[in-house]
Chain A
Amino acid sequence: MERILFGDNQFFAVNHISDSKSREQSIRFKDDSAIIKVLDDAIGAGINTFMCTTHDRIANICDIIRDNPEKYNNFKIFPCMPYAHKYANAVTELGISGTLKQYVPGNFFGSLFKGGMAFLSKDYEAIMELMIDAEMKMFKGINTPVIFLQNVITDLLLGLRAYDMLVAFHSYIKQKYNAEAGFITMNMPKLLSVLHKAGISNPIICASINKAGFRMSGGKEIYEETLKTKKFRAIAMQVLGGGAIHPKEAIDYICALPNIESILFGASTKGNIENTISNIRFFDAKNK
């Protein structure tokens, strides 16, 4: 993985600290061309990996990338699935089984329901595989070397102790897509311990890591300790703590931590992209 990854929250009105900023972003990125322009700015600044949710609009971005193979020759996407709000809103309206009926492709699910018989573990894995395939459709022909499970699902399964489903995700991504599985989480130390116990010895884990301790469950100290002592490939996200930390101070903190392979950030302007990159390069050089 590259040192710096470009994220997509800003494109889809995801702002963790301000609803009005989120509204402004939604207006600003109404057209796909506005997204592409910022992506091109990021590429121009030397970032070649875009880590994005499987939001419907990413399908359009994928079309543009496929249509311009020379321009996006080295470009990689790390898909993060699923775009949870699509399902969460559906569950509010349709319930859990209604949502699955709507989103799991084919007749598989319908036939299970009619039978009224017991569900087997392999049935749930099959449902997950069908859903992964549905989410991955939009990326056909695009280089996706790492495929992530979004934090709300990772952490849901973690809390439900359905550890074997996390392992099943990991295996299926490797087997079907010849890619590495990654896990986004808000509970990094706990997840890592579960994955290690399940035999995944060097997992890719993307977690909120920042000087403010924002969304670092259990506290900053246990995160720092885990980074120092445990084996895994860490991606730091929310490094600015939702904007709570001064950018220089935030990046200084991240770059000084051991074992962080990549830093994920999002920005809406060329200036902010370039500033963040130069901060990372500066503090990386300082820590060498």
Chain B
Amino acid sequence: MLKIALIGAGKMGISHLSILGGYADTDIVGVCDTSKMVTDFLTKHGKFNCFSDYGKMISETKPDAVVVAVPTKYHYTIIKDLLEKKIHVFAEKPFCLNYEESEELVALAAKNNVVNQVGYHNKFFGTFQETKRIAASGVLGDIYHFIGESYGPVVLKKKADTWRSDPAEGGGCLLDYASHVIDLLNDTLSPIAAAKGTLLKSIYSGKVEDAVYSLLELTSGQTGLLSVNWSDDTYRKMSTSITLVGTKGKLIADANELKVFFKEDNELNGYSKGWNVKYITDLQDGVDFYLRGEEFSSQLNYFVKAAAGLVPNTINNFASAAKTDKAISIIKKSSK
């Protein structure tokens, strides 16, 4: 059984811990966090072996794999240390604050032959997986325009600053929200090569942007828009969507639903001329333990299986997340 440990029991870390705890086939050997309120709870109520120093946790519990869910600014140092110890790593997104560090970790993970994954959970939605399949099949014709969007209600008024409002700590809408869409576009079509113009708008936050609007060009030469706003009250929760406009059809996909229009019949099974609508219920596999969406359970399941050598370590690996970090830096530069 895979011995796994967690570093960082904040919102994402607690969620990962609960999902792992719900699975039968991992042994959670340790949890590390600096909040005594959190570790006391996990010790007393969950009977977890908790630490405040991750180095001590690693040397005492000797995990095969570690989930790293601390703020991004600590990723590089901690992950490097884990990779050098030949421990499999699942890290939260975004991967690193600058892509030179990301690329160094990609090389180190390869050198030490450890499984590596980053928590871009959108890629585990059936709808987005189907979107990638359809885009790659060519049935949309020449995809001459795309729109990647994400909206949600995170920062809705001016408030005191936290690390989420500090760009040096990985805060801001670009790193937090937009990274998901950037990662999806990179993966669905091809990596972002250039930003033709970018607006990073602060709406309520003092130091960081609350919205990102950018005109993008991909390495494939395809162009399109990125539109992301985390200060949008008209959404109940984060809502991410991808629109692909091609010469033979148009596709609109979000986490729950995939709508695709074809000008003519084509060879794609289960689709025909005109509008086709598929729902999450048609496209998503069930999970063994559900906390807050199949995608969160599926991504950890994939990581655990990859560590056991049962699936290839291809979805959301460090190399793919490093490309996303690079795209983030391209977008940031173009806003200046």
Contact = CB atoms under 8 A, between A and B. Distances in A.
Interface in A1-50: 12-20, 22-23, 26
A97 interface: yes
B76 interface: no
A26 to B, nearest CB: 7
B281 A218 contact: no
Interface in B284-324: 286-292
Nearest to A213: B286
B81 interface: no
Given A97-B35, A242-B281, A217 B288 contact: yes
A96 B10 CA distance: 7
A16 B280 contact: yes
Contacts of B21: 158-161
Interface in A80-112: 85, 88-89, 91-98, 100, 112
Contacts of B291: 152, 155-156, 159, 186
Contacts of B18: 155-160
B281 A96 contact: no
B38 interface: yes
Given A18-B256, A217-B288, A242-B281, A119 B22 contact: no
B41 A14 contact: no
Interface string B21-58: 11000000000000111101110111110000000000
Contact of A18 (B10, B35, B44, B257): B257
A219 B292 contact: no
Contact of B279 (A17, A118, A162, A164): A17
B44 A124 contact: yes
B290 A161 contact: no
Interface string A66-80: 000000000000000
Interface residues of A, number: 58
B46 A244 contact: no
A268 interface: no
Interface in A145-198: 152, 155-162, 164-165, 186-187, 190
A159 B257 contact: no
Interface stretch (B95-103, B152-160, B267-275): B152-160
B159 A95 contact: no
A88 B20 contact: no
Interface stretch (B83-91, B231-239, B328-336): B231-239
A190 B290 CA distance: 11
A152 B292 contact: yes
Interface residues of B, number: 50
Given A88-B237, A242-B280, A160 B37 contact: no
Given A162-B45, A187-B290, A244-B282, A95 B236 contact: no
Contacts of A22: 236
Decide if the interface of chain A is mainly helix, strand, loop or mixed.
Answer: helix
B280 A186 contact: no
B17 interface: yes
Nearest to B47: A161
B80 to A, nearest CB: 25
Nearest to A100: B37
Contacts of B40: 118-119
Contact of A26 (B176, B234, B287): B234
Contacts of B47: 161
Contacts of B45: 121, 124, 160-162, 164-165
B254 interface: yes
A89 B153 contact: yes
B279 A242 contact: yes
Contacts of B254: 19
A254 interface: no
B248 interface: no
Nearest to A210: B281
A216 interface: yes
Given A91-B11, A93-B154, A165-B45, A85 B237 contact: yes
Given A92-B164, A162-B45, A242-B281, A97 B289 contact: no
A258 interface: no
Contacts of A17: 256-257, 279-281
Contacts of A159: 17-22, 289, 291
B170 to A, nearest CB: 13
6 contacts: A15-B256, A92-B164, A155-B290, A186-B291, A215-B290, A244-B282
